[in-house]
Every structure is written in C-alpha cells, then in structure tokens.
Structure 1
C-alpha cells in the first residue's frame, strides 16, 4: 500500500477528517507531507484527542530510529489499544523495551518507537502487511468512534 491507498482506505471509513499539512497551511514545516487521521464527523479536529492513525514521511528530531530519511519510505502509525497490541506482538505496550523490534525494518509490524507505551503500532511501507494494516486501521477507527 502506498500513502494514497492508505489514505483512500482510511477515508472510506465514516466520519474521518484528514489533516495533510503543506506549505500553504498553518502547520510547522516539519509536518509538511505527513497525514493525521481523526474521527471527526463534524469536520473539526476534536479537542484534547490524538489522531487514531498517522503517516509520517520523515524523521523527527525525537524520532529517527525508523530512518525514514531513506528514499521512498514512510511509516504508518496506528493507535490500536492495549488488547490489540498484546494480540499482535505477544507482550504489553510497557514491555516493548524487553522485546526488541527493528524500528527501521520495512513491511514489518513493530511497536511505535516513541508511543509504544500508549499502544501504538507501526509499519514502514506496508506491502505483505497490508491486510494487517487495514484490520488495525479499522480497529483504531472503531476505537476512536467510541
């Protein structure tokens, strides 16, 4: 799945608001090219909430372990909740440090390098993991709705 296919899938779910910062937006330059997905049926970014999924296209100062500055890479990040996190990885979000994963491996499910403790999972350039990504995106959307 490429960025457009992922975006199309997420936007096919009801009530999704996509933020796609760019040069003509009020967002800081570091966010340009990334995408943030919220459950927001009224079209307004919900107060005091995080997106249920993001697509990040570059390294951030506090998050460079995925080496997204390599050509053509992006990372899909999904807020899946504790139960789904455990079901997929076999350990709790807080135990991620005790279960090494390669945060730079392409097409592999791994705990988010910064937000694993909050039960976020990530995939760089999902290909064979696309069905997993779709399942987790649907789950995250359902969680955001409730």
Structure 2
C-alpha cells in the first residue's frame, strides 16, 4: 500500500476525519466541522526521518510509518506492560527491530503513550490492523466530545 491509499481509505471509512500534511508527515485528526484548531489526532503517516526520530530508517526507498494511537488496554494485550518514556532523542526499550517492514510493533518513541507502528504495511497487514485504526478513531471521538462539550 502507498501512504495516499491509506489516507484515502481512512477518510472514506470514518466520519469527521481531517488530514493535515506537514514536514513529511500526514496527521489524521477527528475534527468534524473543524471546530477545534486541529482536532484530536489518532493516526499518522510519516515518510521521512526527523531530527529526533531515525529509529525506523524512514529514509529508505519506499519506507513509511503508519502510526496508530490505541488504548492502554489494547497495547498491553498485544505487547505487555508499556515501556517507560525514553530520554529526549532516545527510543523505547522493547527489543523490537524498529526497522522491520510490515510488522505491528510499538512506536519507537511514543510506545510509552500506547502508540504502535507498522512500516510500509501490505494490504493484508493493513486489513488486519484496521480494527486498531477503528479503535483509535473511536477514542478520538470521545476525546473530541469532551473537549467540545462546552463550546
């Protein structure tokens, strides 16, 4: 799959999703009516390394990262106890090869916040992790509704 296909699929399957692209990353926000400046993000696609984010070697030809913010419960069911927050410029310590393609694993920097990643997912892997995207979207809806309850 290509990044644009993933963005198109998520936008077509879920209501209120607004994509925002900047610095080689597309963030997907839940923000119906654009009530909030950005909304609540739940999924990102990153296509290049950042100054403090080189663990996945995204500068390789065709490599990109699909990141998904899942619940703590789901994260712990899949990977065990969440890791500690890494020091600035460092990555979490889980023993995963953060350069492996087409494999669900903790996000190398934000795993401590229950974020997961898949590098360059195939169509079958994307189909398998789609329930995680649905969960992340549902959680974003709840957070959005809390943030906008008094607006």
Contact 2:31 2:40 in 1 (8 A): no
State the Cα RMSD in Å: 1.8
TM-score normalized by the length of structure 1 = 0.83
Q: Does 1:5 align with 2:1?
A: no
CA drift at 1:108: 0.5
Contact 2:40 2:140 in 1 (8 A): no
What residue in structure 2 maps to residue 35 of structure 1?
26
| SS of 1:14 mapped into structure 2 | coil
Deviation string, structure 1 residues 56-88 (Cα, Å, up to 9, x no partner): 000111110100000111000000021111122
Structure 1 unaligned regions, length at least 5: 22-30
What residue in structure 2 maps to residue 25 of structure 1?
none
What residue in structure 1 maps to residue 15 of structure 2?
14
Contact 1:126 1:133 in 2 (8 A): no
Moved over 6 A (4+): none
| SS of 1:102 mapped into structure 2 | coil
Structure 2 unaligned regions, length at least 5: 85-91, 143-151
